[in-house]
Structure formats: structure tokens, C-alpha cells
């Protein structure tokens, strides 16, 4: 779930499993007999919400990827570009070697 805001909603006997949310919040919601299994829905995402007889099992821990900022998408492409640029010298050297000694000898070596 990305950038979803639930307001004044009732969740009764629901089962949330393997949920990864980015910039998702529950405002003034009520959860009754709901199970949260392997989710990253933590307390700060429930704003003025009531959780009654609900269970949180195996919450995701650690740093979860969060693409809520536009700058993160830029950084992903920039790092990918730098990785491609880093292998360019090796590609040039291998192309020159292949031209010099031949494909079969290079493959055999």
C-alpha cells in the first residue's frame, strides 16, 4: 500500500498479511478482532485509532524501503548509472582483447 489514508473506517475480523506500506496512515479507524501478520504497520501509523482484541504477529523489523520521497527515485537511477559507468573500462578492454587475440582463444582462456 503506497500513500493510502484510511479515515473513519471500521475493520472487523480482518487479516492483514505481508503488508508493506509507504506513507500509509489510519486516522480515526477502529480495528476489532483483526490480525496483523508480517506487516510494517506500527503504532505511529494509527492516528487516533482504536485497536480492540487485535493481534500483531511477526512484525517486520529493521529499515524498510520507503519510496515516499521523490529524491529516492532519482538516487536509485543515479546509483545504477554509476554502476554501469564503473564496468565501462572493463568492457572496452575485453572488446580490444577479443579483437586482438580472437573470439575462440578468448573463450578458451
Question: What is the Cα–Cα distance from 43 to 46, expressed in whole angstroms?
Answer: 6
Q: Which residues contact 28 (CB under 8 A, 6 or more apart)?
A: 7, 8, 47, 48, 49
Between 65 and 44, residue with greater pLDDT: 44
Between 15 and 60, residue with greater pLDDT: 15
pLDDT (tens digit per residue) in 49-102: 999 999 888 888 766 555 555 556 778 888 899 999 999 999 999 889 888 998
Question: Model-level pTM greater than 0.85?
Answer: no
Question: What is the Cα–Cα distance from 12 to 53, expressed in whole angstroms?
Answer: 10
Element (DSSP H or E) covering residue 17: strand 15-17
pLDDT value of residue 20: 82
At residue 10, φ and ψ (nearest 5 deg) are: -115, 125
Domain boundaries, given as residue ranges, for the chain: 1-68, 77-108
Mean pLDDT, residues 29-52 taken together: 92
> What architecture is the 1-68 domain classified under in CATH?
3 Solenoid (2.160)
Mean pLDDT, residues 17-46 taken together: 90
pLDDT value of residue 86: 94
Alpha carbon 75 to its chain centroid, in Å, reads 14
Amino acid at each position: 500500500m503506497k500513500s493510502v489514508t484510511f479515515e473513519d473506517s471500521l475493520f472487523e475480523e480482518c487479516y492483514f498479511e505481508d503488508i508493506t506500506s509507504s506513507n500509509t496512515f489510519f486516522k480515526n479507524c477502529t480495528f476489532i478482532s483483526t490480525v496483523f501478520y508480517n506487516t510494517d504497520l506500527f503504532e505511529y501509523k494509527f492516528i487516533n485509532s482504536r485497536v480492540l482484541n487485535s493481534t500483531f504477529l511477526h512484525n517486520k523489523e529493521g529499515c524498510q524501503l520507503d519510496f515516499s520521497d521523490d529524491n529516492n527515485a532519482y538516487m536509485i537511477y543515479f546509483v545504477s548509472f554509476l554502476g554501469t559507468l564503473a564496468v565501462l573500462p572493463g568492457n572496452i578492454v575485453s572488446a580490444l582483447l577479443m579483437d586482438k587475440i580472437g573470439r575462440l582463444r578468448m573463450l578458451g582462456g
